[in-house]
């Protein structure tokens, strides 16, 4: 009885450590601890407006040239993300930048799938072209590439903007943003209808009152 209780307790403890604690330890990656070892470029020019679900973005990356040989020994894959520019984060807690990458909400949209890191071509510019997803809302963005190791842990990065995130930002016009002009047209049309009806009503009353 006691031994079976003990074995259950041990199993629960092992389960807790394996399933809950170890991922938490893994998850504690601070953005400030990552070296900016990639050069990343995005095709949109500063201030360009791209339409979600239609326009394409080409992202290129390469390893910086002045790094120690073998710095990329553990580099396994590259994950490219669309990230909110600071002006689109103001008063929006759900887009907030946090140093702890598990809690960071800056980069919520993937640019394509994860890509294999090719160490033989690290110094050659690699490219991917991607149509901006329909889910991307109207906002200012930049592109960030994370380097992952074989455990999927982020170990380096590069981004298309500077550290202050105020250069090379581009704008995406979301699907709902585009519907707004349609909504404005509908509202104007309704207002016009209401005015005409009121006009007809008044004219009709005057005619009857004569
Ligand atoms: C984006 O790329 C797709 C697929 O290559 C292409 O069909 C589409 O015309 C491109 N869109 C624009 C706006 O260039």
Which ligand 1 atom sits nearest the alpha carbon of residue 55?
Answer: 13
Specify the residue for token string 């991607």.
130
Q: Can you give the pLDDT at residue 112?
A: 79
Contact 56 CB / ligand 1 (< 6 Å) = yes
Contact 149 CB / ligand 1 (< 6 Å) = no
Which ligand 1 atom sits nearest the alpha carbon of residue 56?
Answer: 1
> For 96-128, b where at least 16 C-beta lie within 10 A, e where not — what string?
eeeeebeebebbebebeeebebeeeebeeebeb
To test the pocket of ligand 1, the residue of 56, 128, 172, 173 to mutate (highest count of ligand atoms within 8 Å of its CB) is: 56
To test the pocket of ligand 1, the residue of 53, 57, 131, 172 to mutate (highest count of ligand atoms within 8 Å of its CB) is: 131
Name the residue with the closest Cα to ligand 1, atom 1.
56
Q: Can you give the pLDDT at residue 160?
A: 96
Contact 58 CB / ligand 1 (< 6 Å) = no
Q: Structure pTM?
A: 0.73
Q: Over the chain (210 residues), what is each successive 10-residue block's mean pLDDT?
A: 56 51 63 96 92 95 92 95 95 93 93 86 88 94 96 95 95 78 64 76 76
What residue spans of the chain are helical by DSSP H? Answer: 2-16, 22-27, 175-209
Candidates 116, 98, 115; CA nearest to 107 is: 98
Q: Can you give the pLDDT at residue 188?
A: 63
CATH for 30-178 is 2.60.40.1930
Q: Can you give the pLDDT at residue 74?
A: 95
Domain boundaries, the chain: 30-178
Specify the residue for token string 């930002």.
169
């Amino acid at each position: 009885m006691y031994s079976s209780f003990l074995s259950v307790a041990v199993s629960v403890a092992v389960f807790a450590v394996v399933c809950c604690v170890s991922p938490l330890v893994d998850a504690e990656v601070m953005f400030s601890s990552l070296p900016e070892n990639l050069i990343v470029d995005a095709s949109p020019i500063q201030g360009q407006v791209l339409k979600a679900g239609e326009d394409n973005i080409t992202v290129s990356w390469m390893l910086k040239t002045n790094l120690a040989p073998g710095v990329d020994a553990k580099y396994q894959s590259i994950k490219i993300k669309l990230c909110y520019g600071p002006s689109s984060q103001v008063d929006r807690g759900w887009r907030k930048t946090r140093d702890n990458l598990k809690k960071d909400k800056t980069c919520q949209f993937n640019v394509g799938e994860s890509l294999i890191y090719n160490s033989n071509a690290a110094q050659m510019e690699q490219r991917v072209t991607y149509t901006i997803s329909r889910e991307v809302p109207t906002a200012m963005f930049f592109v960030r590439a994370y380097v992952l190791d074989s455990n999927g842990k982020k170990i380096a990065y590069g981004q298309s903007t500077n550290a202050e995130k105020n250069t090379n930002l581009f704008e995406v016009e979301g699907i709902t943003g585009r519907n707004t002009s349609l909504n404005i047209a509908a509202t104007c049309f309704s207002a016009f209808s209401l005015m005409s009806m009121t006009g007809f009503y008044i004219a009709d009353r005057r005619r009857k009152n004569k």
